[in-house]
Amino acid sequence: MKLSLVAKPSARAVVIYPVYSKEKPHDAAVAKFIQQLEKNKEFEAKSGQLFYKYDGISNLASKVIFVGMGEKKKLDYAAVLDAIASAVKSAKSHKEHTVCIIMDDELGKFGQAVGEAAVLANYNQARQWKTGKSAKTIQEQHIDVLEVTDVKKNSAAHHAIEKGILIAEVKNDLRDWINSPPNIANPEFFDQRAKEAAKASGAKLKILKNKELKKLGCGAILAVNRGSPDDARLIVMDYNPHGAKKDETVALVGKGIIFDSGGYNLKPSGHIEDMQLDKSGAATVIAFARLLKKLNIKRRVIITCAMTENLIGPLAQKPSEIIKSYSGKTIEVTNTDAEGRLVLADAIAYTIKEYKPKYLIDLATLTGACMVALGYRYAGLFGNDKELAEKIRKAGDEINEDLWPMPIHKEHHEQIKGTFADIQNTSTVRYAGASTAAAFLEEFVDKKTKWAHLDIAGPAFTQTPKKYETKGATGFGLRTLVRFMEELG
Ligand code: BES
Ligand code: MG
Ligand code: ZN
């Protein structure tokens, strides 16, 4: 989306005019009009409320959408995202390709949210696949130009809007990657995405496939891979263009299951259909890698993705198998559907051994249990370091991605002790499945590493989208990572 700073809206633009409750708009004609609407209780500038005026007002273009912002002093990031996205979504139906937002000083403080909202509202999950008339309609309703009034060139607001656009464009691509089914977004697809990301940020890239993984002893990811016709991958990016100190490294690890059928513990109908979502964690960290340079991140960042498919077939692993992980720990596979923790076990242990990061954060659509506990809205936030968890939670909170602290108790570790092997990949107890999964991951984290685990099973792929989302992939986590890394410095 192209950003254009304008003195007044161009003739064809659909104008989005934010209005605050109990606040007189600057434009005298608009103020008078709004006052009348308020009197008639037709429009009260409640947050997200829309009012359409398509016969011109003041010196603005003919199509104006007034959008309520609520009270000015209560304005926050979430309110801006919701309100602006609602207005832009509505503006799309006019097929004009240009929207113009009438900015003001208060909204200027939320420039990043404005840019993000405009681009995120543009997303259409069917765009890639529809043909014929539907394809044409989708194309006609695409916004190409975002005009903003009252923003000075090179001002803080200007840069913030641009940054919002940049992040949201990557986020929309990320949504496409996650929504794409396994016949399209296959392991090779992600090799390509990783190559592009590494190139964009000047990161070193390694793609370890079965031969190397065997040599390394990555028995856990290889066990999950056995049902798949494609090689597994550990995709590893090493970003350090500023020569940052190695003991300050941040590692980001993503679960990348191209499709999770459950394996021999096959998922039933009703649970298997959306399982292309199971690569969300890996896709998110690859998308983030694309932004590292543009965001001018100074730290060394390691990005590791554990990619493979969880399928059935004559070679696929069976429940009861005992495998040896990269760390040396043996695992009894009590359930082939608990595959995420297996691939992550090797990815985490390898990343720690090889790069000794100070912080390691993993993102994974790990458990249905986390969705049972927290729904679509919240990601579960686990780990071994309260301070790190709080930093991540706060970063998410600031940009409207919600994470909720969840416990790992030593009992959860007890519950995954193996009968035959060191550990087993499911708990002996039916409850607290998100915590026992996290406890399993912790078995592969050393005490020195500050570790956080984000179980994004709920928010990664939603049936209850926010105003700036659509059903399906949300791109959850990307903006939290951006904010977290910026605040970490
Ligand atoms: N990928 C799933 C978790 C999931 C479920 C993500 C629904 C998003 C929506 C994971 O691999 C899985 O199957 N977990 C099992 C673990 C169980 C066998 C202990 C689950 O949650 O049922
Ligand atoms: Mg599974
Ligand atoms: Zn899975």
Identity of the residue numbered 135:
A
Q: How far is the CA of 340 from the centre of ligand 2 (A)?
A: 6
Largest CA distance in the chain: 79
The residue from 341, 393, 466, 479 that is catalytic is 341
Tens digit of each residue's pLDDT, the chain (489 residues): 999 999 999 999 999 999 999 999 999 999 999 999 999 999 999 999 999 999 999 988 889 999 999 999 999 999 999 999 999 999 999 999 999 999 999 999 999 999 999 999 999 999 889 999 999 999 999 999 999 999 999 999 999 999 999 999 999 999 999 999 999 999 999 999 999 999 999 999 999 999 999 999 999 999 999 999 999 999 999 999 999 998 999 999 999 999 999 999 999 999 999 999 999 999 999 999 999 999 999 999 999 999 999 999 999 999 999 999 999 999 999 999 999 999 999 999 999 999 999 999 999 999 999 999 999 999 999 999 999 999 999 999 999 999 999 999 999 999 999 999 999 999 999 999 999 999 999 999 999 999 999 999 999 999 999 999 999 999 999 999 999 999 999
- Kindly identify the ligand whose nearest atom is closest to the C-alpha of 426: 1
Atom 17 of ligand 1, nearest CA residue: 338
Can you name the residues that pair with 66 across neighbouring β-strands?
17, 51
Catalytic site includes residue 341: yes
Q: How far apart are CA 283 and CA 197, in angstroms?
A: 11
This prediction's pTM: 0.98
Q: Is 102 in the pocket of ligand 1 (CB under 6 A)?
A: no
pLDDT, residue 443, reads 98
**Coil, strand or helix: which one is 410?**
helix
> Where do runs of H (alpha helix) occur along 128-254?
132-140, 156-179, 187-201, 210-216, 219-225
Q: How far is the CA of 454 from the centre of ligand 2 (A)?
A: 16
Q: Enter the DSSP assignment of 155.
A: S
Tokens of 316: 């696929």
Q: Is 337 in the pocket of ligand 1 (CB under 6 A)?
A: yes
Identity of the residue numbered 97:
H
Q: Is 292 in the pocket of ligand 1 (CB under 6 A)?
A: no
- What CATH number belongs to 176-488? 3.40.630.10
Atom 7 of ligand 1, nearest CA residue: 368
Atom 13 of ligand 1, nearest CA residue: 337
The residue from 267, 293, 358, 394 that is catalytic is 267
Helices and strands (H, E) in the chain, number of each type: 16, 19
Minimum-distance ligand 1 atom for the alpha carbon of 278:
1
Q: How far is the CA of 287 from the centre of ligand 2 (A)?
A: 23
- Kindly identify the ligand whose nearest atom is closest to the C-alpha of 461: 1
- Kindly identify the ligand whose nearest atom is closest to the C-alpha of 435: 1
pLDDT, residue 30, reads 96
**Contact present, 342 and 333 (Cβ < 8 Å):** yes
Catalytic site includes residue 136: no
Identity of the residue numbered 306:
A
Q: Is 369 in the pocket of ligand 1 (CB under 6 A)?
A: yes
Q: Is 455 in the pocket of ligand 1 (CB under 6 A)?
A: no
In angstroms, how far is CA 121 from the centroid of its own chain? 15
The pairs formed by 391-394 with CB atoms below 8 angstroms and a separation of 24 or more are: 391/484, 391/487, 391/488, 392/361, 392/452, 392/454, 392/480, 392/484, 394/487
Q: Is 339 in the pocket of ligand 1 (CB under 6 A)?
A: yes
The pairs formed by 194-197 with CB atoms below 8 angstroms and a separation of 24 or more are: 194/235, 194/237, 194/286, 194/289, 194/305, 196/290, 197/237, 197/286, 197/287, 197/289, 197/290
pLDDT, residue 62, reads 86
Tokens of 266: 């096959």
Q: How far is the CA of 174 from the centre of ligand 2 (A)?
A: 21
Domain ranges of the chain: 2-152, 176-488
Q: Quickly name the fold that domain 2-152 has.
A: Leucine Aminopeptidase, subunit E; domain 1 (3.40.220)
DSSP string, 377-390: TEEEEEES-HHHHH
**Intrachain domains 2-152 and 176-488 with the same fold:** no
Q: How far apart are CA 19 and CA 83, in angstroms?
A: 10
Q: How far apart are CA 60 and CA 37, in angstroms?
A: 18
